[in-house]
Each structure stands twice: as structure tokens, then as C-alpha cells.
Structure 1
Amino acid sequence: MAPTPLLGSRTLDRQTARTLPPGPKLPTLAQTVLFASHRKTFFPRMREKYGDVFTIRLVPSSRVCVVLSRPEHIKEVFGSPPAVMHAGEGNTVLEPIMGSHSLLLLDDEDHVRMRKQLMPAFSGPALRGYAGMVHELAKAEVAKWPTGTPFKMHQRMRNLTLEIILQVIFGVTDVDRLNTLRPLLDKIVSVSPVIMLGGFYPPLLKVRPWKTFLDTQQRIDEILYDEIAGRRETFAGRNDVLSRLLAAGNWSDVELRDQLVTLLLAGHETTATAMAWAFHELARRPADLEFGQRAADAGADDELEAIVKEALRLHPVVYQVGRRLTETADVAGYRLPRGTTIMAAIGLVQRDGEHFPNPKDFRPQRFLSDDPPAPGTWIPFGGGARRCIGAGFSLMEGTEILRAALTAFNFQAPNPEPEPAQPKNVTLVPRHGAEVTVTHR
């Protein structure tokens, strides 16, 4: 099926433009820069000026993006038929990296089929089976931390989540292969927006630095295809994600490769950043640190998970998620034409005092009270048919990382002030790396 044309400068007529939600009149390039570099402040200012629903225009093609900040409006989007609200079409820039079979790039029946094949590897029993492996890897990482000397937690978490992907998701156990893959995968997960432009302009892929990136990707693919071929003969009884996928579905090698790379890119920086923010907050707040340590000592998983959830609420790693309308539809009180990009502003919802009293405070107990956050107000993993399939894995991973770290160390923040966020591709990361100091308990 041909992709839905973007609603933008070439397809938006004046009459339709007058019916769109209000928004800034700044040039498209200026709006794009503000969105890319300052969305955590740009979106709140736009909401304050134009209301809960506003329109911005972004490159390419001065595309029309309608931003939603009310849970009931976002629920309309997440609850709409997936055939009307395409998510995969908005991710086509990722195809040269993730591959055409990536779950993030698929829509309609293809997405349903692929998601159904992936689900068994992320079920409750499967997650419980991974928890022990994640905990052991977390303990090994924690044992390397220097005591009494400040270090950047974000990089430590990036190292750990990469190791978890290698061993728990890919199931790689050979030491030589692990040593070969680590630096190669680090280059892939550190992909810059400049490299991603190759998805919009394919001729760039033939010259440096894009060709260098694709050469690295090809080396990784060779190893992954070799790993897949070997695993097809030996997956029985193994407990990693790749082995569970082989046991549960009928996959081609290309489909498996694309899902593994998708899990790598979608699950590495996001979880690493969420946990860096969690440790940043605990290091600044002795009472919350003590709360977490008691939970870790007692094996209180719900309380440890609440710390992860509150870090994701206060510091949403992904500030917004998008859909593309495949037909004209009524959304948030507006009649929006085909091709409109809809943005659900996760960051605006989760920082709204109407839904979260004292929204700037770090309070894990929000998720443990008799009056927890209302449905649709905590949405770091999106929602509906496109909710992140790795959400449960991410929360389990964060719980096990906290357990390993909090049973071993006390934490302090060299700088007690809140650390600002800065954009890194589609994520918002700690500007100074979430610096902490640890001492043995």
C-alpha cells in the first residue's frame, strides 16, 4: 500500500489551513529547530499561548503537526482504528537502520501479524524468566563502580543496557563474539540525526559518513545472521529473547534481524536514560533513597517499580509520539484532513498539575497510594495497539537494576540542583550525564 502523503506545504490549501488548531506563525525551519532542540520548553509555551490543542509545522515539506495535551484527546488517538492512525509511516526515516520488517515501521495487518509473533517473548512468564539474568548482569556492572569519586551514571547505564541486550535479548554468550559486537553496536546506538537524514535522502547513503555507518551495520548484520542460523539448531531450552522468538513464531532471517535491531535501538537509550534519571533523583533525595534501599532489601518489587515509573513520569525519555491520519477524521474537536501528523505530547500530560499534584516533585509513592494516577495520564510507553511491546521488559529491567545498586551502595549528588534535560535524537537525556557519588553501605 502506498504511504499516505504528508499534509504540508504542497497539499495544504488556505481554506483547510484556516480550520486547523491555532499555532505559531514562525518559519518552518525555526519551528523545527525549537522542536528538535527545545521541545521541553517549546511545547509548554505553545500550550500556554494557544491552548490544549495547537499546530506546528516541521520539515520536511512544512508538514502539519497537531499537538494534543489532554488525556481524553490522546485517548481518542490511541483508541482509534490503527488503519486510520498510522504510526509506522511516521518512522520511515528509520528504515535504512532498522529494516523494512521492523515493528516500528509496519502498519495494518503487517503490524498485527508481527506484534502477535513477538508477544510470547514479552509475556509475564517470559519476563520472570529474564529477571535473574538481568539481575546478575546488573550486579556485575555495579561491582565496577568507583566509590567516593563522582561518575556519570548515564554512561554506566548505557553500558549495562547494551550488555543486557547482547546477552538477554540477542542471547550471545561467546566471549569473542561479545567483544566484537560491543564496539560495533555502540556505534549503531549512538547514531546521530545527521545519519538518520539518509532515510529522507537515500543518495546520501552512498557517501561518507553515511556509507561508513552502513558498513558498520553490514558487519553487525553478518554476525546477527550467523547467530540466527546457529540458534535455529539450538534454541530449545534457552531463555533469551531470540530463542523464545524462534520457539514461538515462523520467522525469516530478515524478519528476525529487523526485530533484533529494533529492540536494540528502541530499548537501549530509553531504558539507560530512564535509570540515569532515577539514580539522579535518588542521589538528591535522602528520604527517597532510604525508601528505595528498604524496598531493595525487602524484595518489594512494587516499590522499586514505582521509582522507575516516577522517573519516567517526571523525566519522559520520549516527549511525544506521532500518528499520521490516513483519512479525514474528527480529533479533539477539530476536523483534521488526511495526512495530518498527530502528536500526543507525553511530557505535557505527565507534568500537568491537574493529573499529578506537585508535578515537579519526585514522588514514587504516587503509584502506591489508594488513589493512583488516572488511566491515560501516565503514558511513557504510548498506548493502544501501538503501545511499546517492551514496556514490561523495561520496567522489569529497571527494577532489577535498582535492586542490585541499592542493596550495595549509598548515593549522593555532587551537585544537588536538578539536572536539565537535553535532546539526543528522539530522547531527552541528562545534560551532564547524571553525575553521582557512591559509597558502600
Structure 2
Amino acid sequence: MALPPGPDLPPIAQGGWYVLRPFDLIDTCIRRYGDLFTLRLFGFGTLVCASHPEAIKEIFTGDPEELRVGEANAPIRPLVGDGSILLLDGPDHLLLRRLIYPLFHGEALKTTTALIGEIAAGALRRWPEGSPIDIYESMQEITLDVILRVLFGALPERERQALREAFATLVNQHASPLAGLLMVPSLRRELGPLTPWSRFRRSIDRIDALVHAQIARHRRERGLARDDILSRLTAAAEEEGHPLSDAALRDHLVTLVMAGHETTAATLTWAFALILGRPEVASRIEDEVRRAAGGGGGPVRNEHLDQLDYLDAAIREVMRLRPVVPILGVGRLLKRPMQLQGYHLPAGVKLVPLIYGTHRRPDLYPDPDRFAPERFLGRKIDPYTWLPFGGGMRRCLGLGFALHEIKIVLATALSSARLRLHGRPALRPTLRGITIGPQGGARMIMERPGSPHRSAAGA
């Protein structure tokens, strides 16, 4: 069976190209080979990448027994654990999805609004007025605080700080483009205490100890009224007659932290850079938030959120331009031969809906490199043309929570202070493990209403 065309470079060279310049590789392949092409990335096998909505629909709606997401995600096993929802297929995946979905959607979201707003407002109070603020660093702190509080509830300060430091250390270890190589089985070698794999294992061991301590605490206090995700997930599983082991809970919790922290921080960083880079967009969002709140200040409330249509459109446009999962993480491992777009594909290849490529199609998004929130005003989202959270039965369970958190953080910041970029952001999309994050300098200046800085600036 003939595969779609693709680069004739050896897998190690293609892998190196992807590690160092991921979007350049994708752009080059789309120009040369079109909507469907083949990559061979060292350590990740043969990938057939599709950017046409019709092909993506076929992949998303295909038989899950023939298109296995969990098996395709096997390289991230050391990070999230054997029981992670990202690695499960079949009935095990459906059961866990049924348990987790209600915890991050609908009424459950409304219970987190005040908490997210408080954490965002607390961060704003710590920002130095009139001095440059590192956007990415600030967003990482906010999103990590949010996910830890939502998952584990209110903790003693020492325990909370220990979890923050452990997960921050692991995330920082994945900041390098080369960190993704730790997911290649043949490169997992302990050659001394300072080698990458040894440091990674120590970080995982530290997280395991802290997370298991929280699981033990929750089991001891199971009679107490608690509203955190760990307690609700444990109770839901028991009600279903499928109680979760400590090991399974550990894998689910680590997955939720890793999937819901760094990706959201990256999107928020891009959002501030793109929105503040267009003062008219920032001003329109500020006006919209003020109108939703009745012209007054104060925290963002649930009744305000449905009125923030332009902010919602801006967030979706940020995610179109800067998806954090360009290739790896949304693929399907083909278990049987399949025909796609005129090609007969053999079992064993991975089919990859090409998020970045689809989002940059000029037939779907005219002038695709331009940041234009208006694209999404009054527009019904097509699940096969806007897919920052993947799609089909395996669409990210955190979609609702991520959009909710991003909206609250942006609304809180833009309505509470005057923000402007410091200099010209030098952000560039860079591989961080298996996701894409912002690399380089992006700083902003904060001035509170009525401050001397603001008065002087407007004089």
C-alpha cells in the first residue's frame, strides 16, 4: 500500500526538524504535498497527517476499535501513568469519560467561577505597578494554583506549596524542545543522577509521593463534605460500582494537572500578547466586561460570562492561531487497513488530524495569519475546522473548563487594570515536550485605575 507523499529525509532528521521548527515543518509539507502527507518521526513512528475537514471528519467519526487513541499516545506513558484516560481505549475509556465529564461541565463550572476570579485577582495584586511583568511566568502561577485548588481543595500552605514546586519542576524540565525525546523508549536511560531521564524519574517520584498523600487524606476524611474533584471523582466511581484504586486516582490526577495547567498558561500568554497588541481589541473587551457587570467593578460573576461574546470570540481566535497541540497527542493508531482520501493506508500508521494546518487554511479562514476575533462572532463552530481540543469521542474533557478559566482570567485582568505590552514581544512557538508553548520575551506593564503612573501616562 502506498502512503501519501512526504519528506524523504531519514526519521531522525525529520524528528530533528520537528523538534527545532515544528510549524516550519508543517508549513513546508503542506506547500509541497497538500492536504495529506506522511511524516516519519524518530521514536514516534509513521504519521499520516490530514488537514482537510473531510479527512478529519473521517478520522474523528471512524470506528474507535480500528482507530486507537490510547495506543497512539503510548509515548507519554512515563509522564501520566498506565491508567491515564489519555492511554485508555474501549470500555475502560468510556467509563472514565462518563465519570469525569460532569466534573468539568455545566453546573460544576459555575462553582469554580469565584475561585478562579479570586486567584486571578490575587495575582494582579502581587504584580508590580509600572514595572515589566513576565506574562508566561505569571500565567503559569495562576493556572497551577487554579488546577491544584480545583483538584485537591483547600490545603495547608505547606502541602500546597510542595505540590506547586513539584509540578512546576516537572513542567520546567519539559520546557526544552528536546524534552520530548524522553518519550522515546530507546532514550530512557539512567546514566547518572544528572542525566535527563534520572532527573525526570526523581520528579515523578516526588509527585507520586505528594499525590498519594493527598489520596490517603481524602480516604481518611471521606465522611466530610468536600467539593474538590478528587472527592467527587472518588464518590462518582463508587456510585457507579467501579471504585478507583490509589494508582488509578494518581494517574487521573497527574493527567488533569499536566493537561490543564501548562496548556492553559500558554494560551493565556498568547492571548495577552495578541489582544494587547491590538489596542482596539483590548478596549472593546474592557467595554464589554464593564457593560456585563452593569458598569461597575467587582469580580466576574456567572451571570456576566454569557454576555462576553467578543471576549469569547477573541479566545477562540487565539486558539486558532496558536494551538498548543500541533501533531502529537491527537493521533489515532490504525489497527486495520483503511482508505482515506484515495489512499489505502496499512495498519500500524498513525492518523493525525493536523490542527495547525487546518486552522491556517485560507479557504476556511481568509487571511489566516491575521488575528481577527470577528471571525467567530455569530459563527457556529464547525468541529472539523476548529479543533484545538481534538475532536470526536476523544475531544479533550477539559474544553469547557479551559475556556471558562481563560475567560475569567482575561476578564478579571483587563477590567481591573490598564495593561500594555512592554516593547515588542519576541514570542515564538516552540516545542515543549509534546506541546507547543511560547518561547522568548513577552512582558506587560500594569497600571491601576487612578494611579500616578496612569495619570502621568495620560498627561
TM-score by length of 2: 0.87
| 1:247 counterpart residue number | 235
Structure 2 CA distance, aligned partners of 1:269 and 1:219? 19
Aligned partners of 1:373 and 1:108: how far apart in 2? 28
CA contact (8 A) 2:425 2:442 kept: no
- How do 1:295-374 and structure 2 match up within 5 A? 295-297=288-290, 298=292, 299=304, 300-320=307-327, 321-369=330-378, 371-374=379-382
Partner of 1:262: 255
Cα separation, 2, equivalents of 1:211 and 1:151: 33
Look up the SS of the partner of 1:95 in the other structure. Answer: helix
Are 1:30 and 2:5 counterparts? no
- Give the Cα separation in 1 of the matches to 2:191 and 2:150: 34
Encode CA deviations 1:16-51: one digit per residue, 9 max, x unaligned: 3xx111112122221111122212121111111111
Superposed CA RMSD: 2.0
1:5 matched to which residue of 2?
A: none
Sort the Cα spacing of 1:416 and 1:373 in 2 relative to 1 into closer, same or farther, 3 A. farther
1:392 match: 400
Range with greater deviation from structure 2 (209-218 or 420-429)? 209-218
1:161-180 pair list within 5 angstroms: 161-180=143-162
Asked if the contact 1:421–1:430 (Cα under 8 Å) also holds between the matched residues in 2, the reply is yes
Q: Which blocks of at least 5 consecutive residues in structure 2 are unaligned?
A: 238-242, 293-303, 450-459
Distance 2:439 2:397 in 1: 28
Of stretches 297-306 and 46-55 in structure 1, the one that deviates more from structure 2 is 297-306
Structure 2 residue aligned with 1:137, among 113, 119, 141? 119
2:18 match: secondary structure: helix
The 3 A distance-change label for structure 1 pair 173 and 302 is farther
Check conservation: 1:414, 1:437, Cα contact below 8 A: yes
Among 264, 268, 273, the alignment partner of 1:275 is: 268
Question: Shift of the alpha carbon at 1:172?
Answer: 4.3
Correspondence for 1:48 among 22, 28, 31: 31
Q: 1:433 to 1:172 in 2, by over 3 A?
A: farther
Bigger CA drift: 266-275 or 405-414?
Answer: 405-414
Residues 132-180 of structure 1 show CA distances to partners (whole Å, capped at 9, x for unaligned) of: 2111111111211122222220111011111112111222421111122
Letter in 2 for 1:240: D
Q: Residue 361 of structure 1 aligns to a residue in which SS?
A: coil
Deviates more, 1:70-79 or 1:314-323: 314-323
Aligned to 2:287: 294
Compared with structure 1, are the counterparts of its residues 319 and 366 closer, same or farther at alpha carbon in structure 2 (3 Å cutoff)? Answer: same
Output the amino acid matched with 2:63. Answer: P
Alpha carbons 2:180, 2:434 under 8 Å: kept: no
Report the count of equivalent residues. 422
Secondary structure of the structure 2 residue equivalent to 1:360: coil
> Identity across aligned pairs (percent)?
36
Q: Secondary structure, in 3 states, of the residue corresponding to 1:316?
A: coil
Cα distance per residue 1:283-315 (max 9 Å; x no partner): 111110011112222233333322221111111
How far is 1:241 from its partner? 1.6
**Offset from partner CA, 1:167-217 (integer Å, 9 cap, x none):** 112224211111222211111222334486266138625743323432332
Q: Distance in 2 between matches of 1:363 and 1:198?
A: 36
1:254–1:206: structure 2 CA closer, same or farther, 3 Å change rule? Answer: farther
Summarize deviations over 1:104-133 as a string: whole Å, max 9, x none.
Answer: 111122211221221221221111111221
TM-score (structure 1 length as normaliser): 0.90
Q: Which residue is 1:103 aligned to?
A: 85
Q: 1:8 is matched with which residue?
A: none
CA–CA separation in structure 1 for the residues paired with 2:236 and 2:139:
30
Q: 1:340 to 1:135 in 2, by over 3 A?
A: same
Output the CA distance in 2 between the equivalents of 1:395 and 1:88.
25
In the alignment, what sits opposite 1:401? 409
Which letter does structure 2 place at the counterpart of 1:200? P
Aligned to 2:215: 228
User: Secondary structure of the residue that 2:111 maps to in structure 1?
Assistant: helix
Q: Does 1:216 align with 2:203?
A: yes
Distance, in Å, in 2 between the alignment partners of 1:60 and 1:100 is 19
1:68 to 34, 50, 69: 50
Report what 2:385 is aligned to: 377
Residue in 1 aligned with 2:295?
none
- The alpha-carbon distance between structure 1 residues 118 and 206, as it changes in their structure 2 partners (threshold 3 A), is farther
Q: Quick one: distance in 2 between partners of 1:188 and 1:223?
A: 13
- Amino acid paired to 1:278: A
